[in-house]
Structure 1
């Protein structure tokens, strides 16, 4: 991933491609490139770094042609580097491909292609596709693309050009967004609408399993079997700023709604359900080392630390090894008990959090192996860690983290299952159930997102509040902390989270008439205890919003308002239950007129201690 632009028309393609990529810069990227059909051949220009480098290359080495494709890359396979930038080409240099998504079976395909003499020049998963198209090409690019896509497992939005068919761009989609724009004597493709808004406001949205053939004269839509598809045009009336957010008012809301895809992409290629294995490509822990582990130290800050608090019991349940969760900023100051049988598990969305990097270096100096969970390939944390699990959330623009958090939870669950199998502390049936539950998450998240209007209506009740309390037990206690953080960081309402069992030890003194309390009750063995806690705060005058499971009718009868989550395993509930809290915080902040994406005094990446 991240940004795709395609063009077929009468004008020179390179300036239009570059302009479209610049309009997608808000998505984040680490390299950029373009391929243009010049008549007899393809010309490719690409470079790591900012788009200015690509613009400079195109100025120094101009390309002439009216058909082309462009891409900005956010690294998922292979570090940010010139050779990993898109477009990627085949052995002949006559096929070029740009791709968003993840090809899960690329390693097997690559080995197969190498055995047949293909030469690879990158570390990416994408590069298998131009080589497959090269093999399948018999004078018809569309058919070659269809045959090649049939070999892939995973997700994709692609744009393809071929030197032998210099007037057309082939695009296709599965689980990754792609739109086609229709203009006058020119047609376009893009991963997001802003790229093409200056040229057309007539857009078709590709659905999964659809392809399109784009020429200057028109666009043809087909399914994967080559059958024509009829589609309805969308007339876009957003302004440019709104279109960057996909029609959403704020990036935060857009990113909340991207969570099903982000979770799906983070899981991609990591679940070998046939063999009952969890595959973590960036983790190479020796089995004997894993079995001799004494401790795992989770070191993180803010939202990432809350993910670690959910991960702590999950890791202990599966791996049967003690887990501590520490504020990375405090870790160095307490002479921590770390040795060569400790894993320092670092969690950071950006991979550049100064406190987390300092804690990592301290842990390593004391002998620990470092395993990082991060969203950014090539970040300081990813480079310095011994092992890495990448979340595939894509760029997160809003300061308040949403999709990074849920994908961190998924990464922790994957690690727990992996360690449990390696240590032989959990049976395979339990890990198989874990994998089934993880696979079900994207659809369950979609169901939660459908409740947005219901949750948004409740936001009015929180707008006049000076204080809000979040309570929960077990895994819900950590989710309560994340819910409180989301509310206070973007609405500026004072919010605190407590383990519900702590109420009687002082917190009840803060509960007065009308104070809102958000009660998380998703852990079925603890529902009765949570019911008692809800009654306790109700008896002191609290107004209670319960977030709970479908069968918790007793809780719904006591609470003032209830959000029922979809049926799911207790272990998965932290991924689901946080979403209504994100939505609630967003709508409260919006009603208060706050700057949702850029709250005061905060930065997206905290690069100072």
Structure 2
């Protein structure tokens, strides 16, 4: 396999706003058609199943299903779903549980098995994938195919956004609210903020990448939807640069990992306005006092967070917390690519012989 250079990630992330504009209306129409075909069958619980980026997308979308979709929602990794009772139906009618299997390639073996198992147990099933005719599309009763054209060999960036977009639109339409059309327009309009965020953060990502390249470990924190963003961003650093990086819940870091050395290791705090923001600000302040190099992924005027940061990766605009993962994950690709470049590494260790 030829080495995969880091600059592929830059091309991928700079395609995100165009993808969002191109995909939103068609994906929304497909989802509305699928829900109409269910002929009013009630959904009371949604289980989001995936591995890697697909699982991170589920974590990032959970709040939208709960608040905008009005349903119980549980994001599960594939093995947890298969081996530890993920298909227990909600209520007497197992068809009121919708199991959504997410796989960009459409051929992730455990996602296929999860959908098959869910159908055997009577749950409704839906595949979200980027690949028409893939195995998940036949394993599930219904499928949403979000096709990202001109793919390149890369850690998932455009495919991650595409699957996340489909999940958020599904959450909106499950809710059946009169405000649904407005929410869809709100999502489509985020392309402008994505571009502004990338432009504002690129140079600072290159500077902060130097810290990640020389650190013994890097932690990324978030809560709610931003926990999914933190997991995703950590995965990009691992896949691209081969460094030790991990995502963690804001509060859990405060209980455990704050005791880890080295005390000046980079600590990213993903903190959009929302339910967990105040606690994120408190943890950022505490981390700063402990000597951590806090990197705030936040609004530039959010002094509750930025006052304690050694660097700020700014998001220069407002976004609903449920939709914030579409905007707040962009820094990860710039950061991971720059870290790999600083270390002279190719993506996925593809330069190893």
- What is the TM-score when the length of structure 2 is the normalising length? 0.90
Superposed counterparts of 1:435-474, under 5 Å:
435-451=184-200, 452-474=202-224
Which residue is 1:305 aligned to?
A: 55
Offset at 1:469?
0.7
The answer to whether the 8 A contact 1:295-1:322 is kept is yes
Offset at 1:511?
4.8
**Please, which moves more after superposition, 468-477 or 550-559?**
550-559
Which residue is 1:17 aligned to?
A: none
Task: Give unmatched runs, 5+ long, in structure 2.
Answer: none
The structure with higher relative contact order (CA 8 Å, sep 6+) is 2
2:56 equivalent to 1:263: no
d(CA) in 1 for partners of 2:36, 2:134: 19
Which residue is 2:258 aligned to?
A: 508
The answer to whether the 8 A contact 1:511-1:540 is kept is no
Offset at 1:310?
1.3
The answer to whether the 8 A contact 1:252-1:397 is kept is no
Q: Quickly say closer, same or farther: Cα 1:268–1:320, change in 2 above 3 A.
A: closer
Instruction: State the secondary structure of the residue aligned to 2:26.
Output: coil
Instruction: State the secondary structure of the residue aligned to 2:127.
Output: strand
CA RMSD of aligned residues (A): 2.4
Which residue is 1:203 aligned to?
A: none
Instruction: State the secondary structure of the residue aligned to 2:341.
Output: helix
d(CA) in 1 for partners of 2:317, 2:183: 15
Which residue is 1:478 aligned to?
A: 228
Instruction: State the secondary structure of the residue aligned to 2:252.
Output: helix
Instruction: State the secondary structure of the residue aligned to 2:317.
Output: coil
The answer to whether the 8 A contact 2:78-2:111 is kept is yes
Offset at 1:279?
5.3
Instruction: State the secondary structure of the residue aligned to 2:152.
Output: coil
2:347 equivalent to 1:590: no
Which residue is 1:377 aligned to?
A: 132
Greater percentage in strand: 1
The answer to whether the 8 A contact 1:301-1:327 is kept is yes
Q: Quickly say closer, same or farther: Cα 1:541–1:518, change in 2 above 3 A.
A: same
**Selected match of 1:353 from 98, 108, 124:** 108
Superposed counterparts of 1:517-596, under 5 Å:
517-569=267-319, 570-596=321-347
d(CA) in 2 for partners of 1:249, 1:325: 30
Q: How many residue pairs end up in the alignment?
A: 343
Offset at 1:499?
1.0
The answer to whether the 8 A contact 2:300-2:306 is kept is no
Instruction: State the secondary structure of the residue aligned to 2:95.
Output: coil
Which residue is 1:393 aligned to?
A: 148
d(CA) in 2 for partners of 1:508, 1:327: 26
d(CA) in 2 for partners of 1:353, 1:324: 20
Q: Quickly say closer, same or farther: Cα 1:595–1:249, change in 2 above 3 A.
A: closer
Q: Quickly say closer, same or farther: Cα 1:360–1:574, change in 2 above 3 A.
A: same
Which residue is 1:15 aligned to?
A: none
Instruction: State the secondary structure of the residue aligned to 1:323.
Output: strand
Q: What do the CA deviations read for 1:224-270 (whole angstroms, capped 9, x no partner)?
A: xxxxxxxxxxxxxxxxx9xxx9xx96322211111112222221335
Greater percentage in helix: 2
Q: What do the CA deviations read for 1:334-381 (whole angstroms, capped 9, x no partner)?
A: 244132321110100000001111111111111112111100111111
- What is the TM-score when the length of structure 1 is the normalising length? 0.53
d(CA) in 2 for partners of 1:482, 1:297: 19
The answer to whether the 8 A contact 1:344-1:370 is kept is yes
**Please, which moves more after superposition, 391-400 or 280-289?**
280-289
